[in-house]
Amino acid sequence: MEPIEEVLITLRRLIRATDLHSKQLVKTAGITAPQLLLLRAINDQGEVTIGEIANEVSLSQATVTTILDRLEKRELLYRVRSNRDKRKVHAYLTEAGQELLQNAPLPLQEHFIRHFKDLKDWEQTMILSSLQRVVQMMDAQHLDAAPMLAVGDLDKYTADKYPNSANVTKK
């Protein structure tokens, strides 16, 4: 097999593994990986503004706001305007959000992180360098990305595939 074929197969396996895990997360917890990431950030940070959440998960504030809108409609979180600075809005988990978070499976990246941390420094650097080169080769270095493994617009996927599901909100 040619090296380019091996590279493309390997990339497809990575995408497929991420896709399968994301679908399993939606099926078992009724939540997407980006939604889970935001719920975790809110839980971990306590009183947190939308801007702080966006910085924490490396997504734009607009993207975070859209995801938070969906989570708020599902009553997994609520937002409150700050008493000290009316320009700021804080997000908090509801009891349902806390329960969902406690019962949700670990994100795929946590499994990856465990294995990655076991590698020697030179191996970690080699992987990072190679992946950064692949991103450049795919002209994807300017794409908005969070430190999570997720594919596609799973909110739309879930709403389209499971239109009667109470766990999803259509766009």
Domains and CATH numbers, the chain: 3-158 (1.10.10.10)
pTM of this prediction?
0.68
Would you call 45 exposed, middle or buried from its count of C-beta atoms within 10 A (0-12, 13-18, 19+)? middle
If we measure between CA atoms, which residue out of 107, 84, 98, 103 comes closest to residue 36? 107
- The residues facing 80 across adjacent strands are 90
Q: Which residue has the higher pLDDT, 155 or 94?
A: 94
Asked whether the beta carbons of 61 and 47 are under 8 A apart, the reply is no
Quick: pLDDT tens for 13-35. Answer: 988 988 888 888 888 888 888 89
Whether the Cβ atoms of residue 22 and residue 32 lie closer than 8 Å to each other: yes
